[in-house]
Amino acid sequence: MMTNLRNTLQRLTTKSQLTDTFCSTIGEWLDTGAVDAQNYPESHHEAIFSQADIGWRQVFLGRISQGWENLQGHTTTNQGRTRPPYLWAASVVETLLRQSIHLWEQRNQEVHGHNAQEQAHLTRLRHQRTIQKLLDMKEKCIPSHRFAFPDNPQELLDLPTQTLENWILTRRHFILQSVKDARNKTADENYSILKWFPPAKDTRIQQHQAWKQDRLLYDPYSKKKRHKTTTQTTLTQFVTILTPP
């Protein structure tokens, strides 16, 4: 494509520097998806920036910046006639559209085949790949919806092409929806672990802490010792009272 475009620009007596910039920017965008204006003459930056605003993909649809026309200006043909810049731009657009159509037809033939036999073979392969992707979703579906899947997947893949297409049309939406519903259902049923193992209540914690505190303050041995000391003191006082002087 770039070779044909360059030849067309040269045939239109395009300025050599403009030819290099125009072809190189398109090639850079196809290769990297972006264009660095610093790689080109400063006088061409306005055209490059305006084309970037329009979109480099739009070049292949015939939408090129007027900045390219301004750079070309009026030119003189080999016959001595003056060509205005808009006629130059129209010729460039025509070339781009023709090349885009040619590339589209070439790609269409590679994807769908050059003849009826190749087209039928590629169509069957596409259906088989689609069915295999759907079959791989079986474990992700709602269990009660797995009736939609065949017991023997290989027998399904060996069926005629039209049968494969009918299977896809009747089951693809159902399977995709089942996978989506199963995902949503799983998310709704994810409970916190606290549901099964609730934390201890605050009252029980407080009781436990109070029990530990009471144990420290009222040790059984110390309490028994205090009781024994009190009893002995009382008996001594009672004996003192009863004993005559």
Structural domain spans, the chain: 2-112, 117-188, 202-242
Taking the C-alpha atoms of residue 87 and residue 107, their distance in angstroms, rounded to an integer, is 30
| Ordered alpha helix ranges (H), 33-190 | 45-54, 66-72, 85-112, 116-135, 153-157, 161-188
pLDDT tens digit sequence for 211-233:
555 555 555 555 555 555 565 56
Q: Read off the pLDDT of each residue in 49-54 and give the average, rounded to a whole number.
A: 92
Q: How far apart are CA 98 and CA 60, in angstroms?
A: 9
pLDDT for residue 89: 87
What is the pTM (predicted TM-score) of this model? Answer: 0.45
113-127 average pLDDT score: 78
Distance CA 73, CA 83 (A): 9
For residue 203, count CB atoms less than 10 angstroms from its CB and return exposed for 0-12, middle for 13-18, buried for 19 or more: exposed
Residue 151 has pLDDT above 60, yes or no: yes
User: Hey, what are 145's tokens?
Assistant: 């919806």
Please state, in angstroms and as integers, the Cα–Cα distance from residue 166 to each residue in 119, 135, 150, 163, following that order: 18, 15, 14, 5
Q: Among 61, 54, 63, 65, which residue's Cα sits nearest to residue 104?
A: 61
Closest-CA residue to 1 (of 109, 85, 77, 105): 105
Q: How confident is the model at residue 176 (pLDDT cuts 50, 70, 90)?
A: very high
Across the range 159-180, mean pLDDT stands at 91
* pLDDT recorded at residue 95: 83
Q: What is the pLDDT of residue 185?
A: 79
